[in-house]
Amino acid sequence: MILLPLAASAIEIDDINYNLTVYGKTAEVAKKAYQGSVIIPDYITYNGVKFSVTGIGIKAFEGCTELTSVTIGDNLTYISKSAFVGCSGLTSVTMGNRVTTIAANAFSSCI
């Protein structure tokens, strides 16, 4: 039996930080100094458990001036407030077809 905490704080998989919700088996992209092109997958596996990547957390990409593009998987449903605030180098965002919520100021100061 593998025991996991109720929520793991900013675990890193394939250069992306995630916060996990064990009971719902969901993951949210968490804060890190991202740069270049980032591809957010539909699923990640942590300790043998598969998690659906469903969101981007508050200020997850804040101030990542060297971030140039983001591709968002099809399982992602929300982008939290100020998720990409200050990402002045961001030139391309490709979203999956399930994004239903883009919170206030999600892309503020990106130009």
**Angle CA 86–90–9, to nearest 5:** 65
Residue 58 and residue 84 in contact, taking contact as beta carbons nearer than 8 Å: no
**Angle CA 22–26–29, to nearest 5:** 115
Nearest Cα neighbor of 32 from 18, 42, 45 is 18
The domains located in the chain, with CATH, are 7-102 (3.80.10.10)
Residue 19 and residue 46 in contact, taking contact as beta carbons nearer than 8 Å: no
SS3 29: strand
Tens digit of pLDDT per residue, the chain (111 long)? 444 445 555 799 999 999 999 888 999 999 999 999 999 999 999 999 999 999 999 999 999 999 999 999 999 999 999 999 999 999 999 998 999 999 999 999 887
6-31 pLDDT tens trace: 555 579 999 999 999 988 899 999 99
Predicted TM-score of the model (pTM):
0.90
